[in-house]
Amino acid sequence: MTESGLGAVFRVREFRVLWAAELFSIAGDQLARVALAVLVYGRTGSAVWAAFTYALTFLPALLGGMLLAGLADRYRRREVMIVADVLRAGLVAVMAVPDMPIWALCVLLVAVVLLSAPHTAAQGALLPAILRGELYERGLAVRQITSQSAQLVGFATGGLLVAALTPSVALLGNALTFALSAVLVRVGVANRPPPPRVEPTGDAPGPAAVGGLRGAVAGLREIGADPRRRALVALAWLVGWYVVPEALAAPYADQLGAGPAVVGLLMAADPLGSVLGAWLFVRYVPADTRARLVGVLAVAAGLPLLLALVHPGVPLTVLLWALSGALSTAYLLQTQASFVRATPDGSRGRAIGVAASGIVAAQGAAILVGGFLADLWDPATAIAAAGASARCSRPSARSRGSGPTGRPRPRPARPRS
């Protein structure tokens, strides 16, 4: 790779370490999700229990992001990541114990997902200190590409590995990935001091409100008081509408008269588009142009979904959903970069946690609305409505504000549990 390419970020040793640690954990997480689905369904014979357990790998991230992300602003961020990884490794290892009661598995799983919040917040807050200037956007793009690719590979091979290894062994493998991540971070990331405390100004909360419910409220107030960051977060939360097609892949395939094999192909369209969109956006769009395209891309991402109304065939549907994924990922990368740079270092972890929690909530709410509309109308109409809703919900350009170059003055890629 040339210095202008995405590969330039791998010249930074600390980024290589964080990237490798995250890749290990993502691969292990996908394997664990498949293992839990197989384990729970095999022991209960209940699709409801299997779906509920799968949902627990996502939903507690909302609570964790609101209540625990502030730890990344109170303690050394490297230590927050290490402790979270070590605790998760131990909890997942306990989950691998044979004949563990289903209720105990669920409790342990909730704890594991809750611990992902401070880890994600600390990593996101640390990244701007590791990648300076233009390298930051490239690093975000590389993380997006590799995380989506790891998810694709994880889901594609997870079933085969679980069948060959048994679910318990697969869970032990996930525990090992957390342990490896902790070792890599301990050895390869500099031991920086805790971030500077944010002093109270006026009615703004002080350092004491950095954690727990008070910290979450303080984070929301801080973002809400800043028009630029408020608009950027609102744009990031719009991405919830763009996951509706993935959630409705099965009923939509049935509406097209396609078989079950098509469902996986449809679900893979968005991650594939995300990989291509992240690479193309950072590689070929000039840095001084990206911020001005955020609003345009946010609207454009919904346009391909509107064509669901004409019931295109499977190949065209895959292409359209991939295009929507590429456009939504491109604008999400830029909103994340602009939001993080606009946030003071001392409150960056908390702000990232609040923003990421909002994305999780937006995705869950949009999926529920999409499911309701699919039952009320049909899947194709529900998907088109999601695309239209995202267009209508876009914040106005006036609220975004811009500097002399047109850049929003100074979020997180889609969260991983």
- State the pLDDT confidence band at 409, using cuts at 50, 70 and 90: very low
Q: According to the 3-state scheme, what is the secondary structure of 152-165?
A: HHHHHHHHHHHHHH
Beta-carbon contacts of 79 under 8 Å, excluding residues fewer than 6 positions away, are 191
Residue 34's identity, in one-letter code, is V
Predicted pLDDT at 157: 66
- State the pLDDT confidence band at 416, using cuts at 50, 70 and 90: very low
Predicted pLDDT at 189: 93
pLDDT at 230 over 50: yes
Given the candidates 3.40.640.10, 3.30.360.10, 1.10.1200.10, 1.20.1250.20, the CATH classification of the domain at 210-417 is 1.20.1250.20
Among 10-14, 98-102, 138-142, 369-373, which range has the highest average pLDDT? 10-14
**Tens digit of each residue's pLDDT (9 = 90 or more) over 238-279:** 888 998 888 788 788 888 888 666 777 787 788 889 989 999
- Of 60-69, 103-112, 194-203, 288-297, least confident by mean pLDDT is 194-203
Contact assessment for residue 75 and residue 121, using Cβ atoms and an 8 Å cutoff: no
Task: Provide the whole-model pTM.
Answer: 0.70
**Tens digit of each residue's pLDDT (9 = 90 or more) over 52-100:** 776 676 667 777 777 787 888 888 999 999 999 999 999 999 999 988 8
For 1-192, give the CATH class.
mainly alpha
Going 146 to 152 to 156 to 160, the CA torsion angle's sign is: positive
Q: What is the C-alpha separation between 375 and 238, in angstroms, rounded?
A: 22
Return the higher-pLDDT residue of 54 and 7: 7
Encoding tokens for residue 328?
């939504």
Domain range summary for the chain, segments of one domain joined by +: 1-192, 210-417
Q: What is the C-alpha separation between 155 and 162, in angstroms, rounded?
A: 11
**Tens digit of each residue's pLDDT (9 = 90 or more) over 188-198:** 999 999 887 65
pLDDT at 398 over 60: no
**Which of 117, 120, 116 is closest to 91 using CA atoms?**
116
**Tens digit of each residue's pLDDT (9 = 90 or more) over 317-374:** 999 999 999 999 999 999 989 999 889 888 888 888 788 777 877 877 787 788 888 8
Q: Is it true that 1-192 and 210-417 share their CATH fold?
A: yes
